[in-house]
A = this chain, B = another copy of it.
C-alpha cells in the first residue's frame, strides 16, 4: 500500500475516534452526574440554552445530527423533570418550542461552572494550532459524510 500512506492513517483515525467518543460520553456522564444529568441531556440542554428563543425538537436533532425520535425522548424526560418547558409555537400547530425553565437555567449555569474548567484543563498542554487543525479536519469529514 505504498501509494497511499493516508489509508492506514485514516483508518487509525477512525478507530481512535470511536474510542475517543466513548471516553467523551463517559466524561460527560461524570461531569453531569452531580447535577442529575447524563451526557445525552447535557447535549440537549446545551443546544436549548444557546438558542435564546425556543427551538423545536427536530431542530435540536438537526443541530446534534441525531434522529428527532432520540431527542424527543430526552426532552420528554427533561420536561417531566422540570428542566424544560414546552411552549406553543405560533408558526406551527403541532411542533412546540422547547425552552429552559428557571430550574433548567440554573442547572445549565451550574453545568458551565464544571464544563468550562474541564475544557480549559484539557487543552492546557495542547497547542492552539493543533486544536484548530483538528477541528478543521473534523468539520471537513462531517461535511463529507453529511449528505
Q: Is A65 an interface residue (CB 8 A)?
A: yes
Tier of interface size on chain A: 35 or more
Which of B16, B128, B129 is A142 in contact with, Cβ under 8 Å?
A: B16
Selecting from A22-30, A73-81, A91-99, A100-108, the interface stretch reads: A22-30
Work out how many copies of this chain go into the complex: 2
Which chain A residues in 104-147 approach chain B with CB under 8 Å?
Answer: 115-116, 119-120, 122-123, 126, 128-142, 144-146
Which chain A residues in 1-47 approach chain B with CB under 8 Å?
Answer: 1, 4-7, 9-24, 26-27, 43, 46
B21 touches A18 (CB 8 A): yes
B6 touches A128 (CB 8 A): yes
B9 touches A138 (CB 8 A): no
Which of B10, B128, B142 is A131 in contact with, Cβ under 8 Å?
A: B10
Residues of B within 8 A of A17 (CB): 17, 20-21, 24, 138
Which of B24, B27, B128 is A9 in contact with, Cβ under 8 Å?
A: B128
Q: Chain A interface (Cβ within 8 Å of chain B)?
A: 1, 4-7, 9-24, 26-27, 43, 46, 64-66, 115-116, 119-120, 122-123, 126, 128-142, 144-146
